[in-house]
Amino acid sequence: MEQKESLSPLRPLPLLIFSSRWLQLPLYLGLIVAQCVYVFLFLKELWHLILHAADFGEQQIMLVVLGLIDVVMISNLLVMVIVGGYETFVSRLRLEGHPDQPEWLSHVNAGVLKVKLAMAIIGISSIHLLRTFIEASRMGMPGANVTADGVLWQTIIHSVFILSALGIAYVDRMTQQKH
């Protein structure tokens, strides 16, 4: 029968360095507060949609719904960063066997988290781009929120997000194959 090695206490400098990970805790708590702000924004926009549904045209309803989807996707991104980041960089949540444990959390590491975040950012960017394309029909009209240059730049930025995510996924896959 093997005996477990007793863990020797860390020397002061390694202990300080290792303990510094707890400095991230206020950052994750701040993101939880930001999540609350997004819940408030979602409820405000939903209430706005309910109150004005009879007055809005199809395009206006679609834009508000896309805004709601955008808030949900950003909120999902926050959950991934809060839960995945805390679990990866600060301390284990010890959720093994818990019925509500997210499926992805069991195999999360810094590489997987980066790929998931990149994909979430692409999804959010896609919603923004779709809203821009819908609003583009009003280009040149008084009160239009979209310009041709704005559409072009948003498309370029979205394409860069996609290329970046592909690069991150490729590098992550290469490093996983080497191990």
Distance CA 48, CA 84 (A): 33
Q: Cβ distance 42 to 72 under 8 Å? A: yes
pTM tops 0.85, yes or no: no
171 within domain boundaries: yes
Instruction: State both tokens at 101.
Output: 């444990």
Residue 99 sits in the same domain as residue 32: yes
The domain in which residue 172 lies consists of 109-179
123 within domain boundaries: yes
From residue 156, give the alpha-carbon distance in Å to each of 17, 160, 171.
41, 6, 22
Residue 136 sits in the same domain as residue 62: no
Three-class secondary structure of residue 31 per DSSP: helix
Residue 71 sits in the same domain as residue 134: no
Structural domains counted in the chain: 2
Residue 49 sits in the same domain as residue 82: yes
Per-residue model confidence as pLDDT tens for the chain (179 residues): 445 556 778 888 888 888 888 998 999 999 999 999 999 999 999 999 999 999 998 888 988 999 999 999 999 889 888 888 888 888 877 777 778 877 777 667 777 778 888 888 898 899 889 888 888 877 777 877 788 888 899 999 999 999 998 998 888 888 877 66
